[in-house]
């Protein structure tokens, strides 16, 4: 199964992605993790992430498509944090079956993130606020794009972890 999980930072994408990975026996892949690893060796990407801006569409597409060519993604994947723009969604032709939108308010996301212990450069208050702003500007239209394709599953991400997971399982009929 090829799934995408979309949601604002702090929505629970990695938590639900890992649970789904276990349930479906397909790998979970976080685009944020990929770029944070790359930032260790690439100053340009490090600066983009630290500022809260988005990595350019062409760069993101090239990296994600290349990653998904690895054998472990042959029978499916759960992809978190991609696509973030309509351009990325339209150009990504990888057989996406469903898109799960974990819907949480900005306030809830900020509360969750503030409770984390993190040493990540991209979790400063300024970077988080910028990413939330970009989510509303750039990623909300992606949700509409997948809704029109009838691939979107909207889940209330503010419930507890088990209830969110149960709603996803029910919505995917698995």
pTM recorded for the entire structure: 0.87
Q: What is the CATH number of the domain that holds 27?
A: 3.40.50.300
Higher pLDDT: 154 or 43? It is: 154
Strand (E) or helix (H) holding 29: strand 28-30
Domain containing residue 86: 2-172
What pLDDT does 165 receive?
98
State the total domains in the chain.
1
In order of 4, 117, 137, 142, 143, the CA distances from 149 in angstroms are 14, 38, 20, 11, 10
What 92-97 contacts at long range (C-beta under 8 Å, 24+ apart), as own/partner pairs, is: 92/61, 92/64, 92/65, 94/2, 94/65, 94/68, 95/2, 96/2, 96/3, 96/4, 96/151, 97/1, 97/2, 97/3, 97/151
For residue 98, report the phi and psi dihedrals to the nearest 5 degrees. -145, 155
* pLDDT > 90 in the chain, percent: 61
- Residue pLDDT, tens place only, 98-148: 999 999 999 998 888 877 666 666 667 777 788 888 889 989 999 999 999
What pLDDT does 23 receive?
96
- Residue pLDDT, tens place only, 160-172: 999 999 999 999 9
- Average pLDDT of the chain to the nearest whole number: 90
Q: Is 81 helix (H, G, I), strand (E, B) or coil?
A: coil
């Amino acid at each position: 199964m090829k799934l995408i999980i979309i949601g604002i930072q702090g929505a629970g994408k990695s938590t639900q992605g890992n649970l789904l990975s276990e349930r479906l026996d397909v790998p979970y892949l976080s685009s944020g993790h990929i770029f944070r690893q790359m930032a260790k060796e690439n100053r340009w990407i490090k600066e983009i992430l630290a500022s809260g801006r988005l990595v350019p569409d062409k760069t993101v597409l090239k990296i994600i498509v290349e990653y998904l060519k690895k054998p472990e993604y042959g029978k499916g994947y759960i992809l978190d944090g991609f696509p973030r723009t309509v351009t990325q969604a339209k150009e990504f032709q990888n057989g996406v079956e469903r898109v799960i939108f974990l819907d949480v308010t900005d306030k809830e996301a900020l509360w969750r993130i503030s409770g984390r212990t993190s040493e990540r450069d991209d979790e400063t208050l300024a970077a988080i606020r910028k990413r939330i702003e970009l989510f509303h500007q750039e990623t909300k239209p992606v949700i509409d794009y997948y809704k029109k394709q009838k691939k979107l599953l909207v889940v209330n991400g503010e419930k507890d972890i088990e209830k969110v997971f149960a709603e996803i399982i029910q919505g995917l009929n698995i």
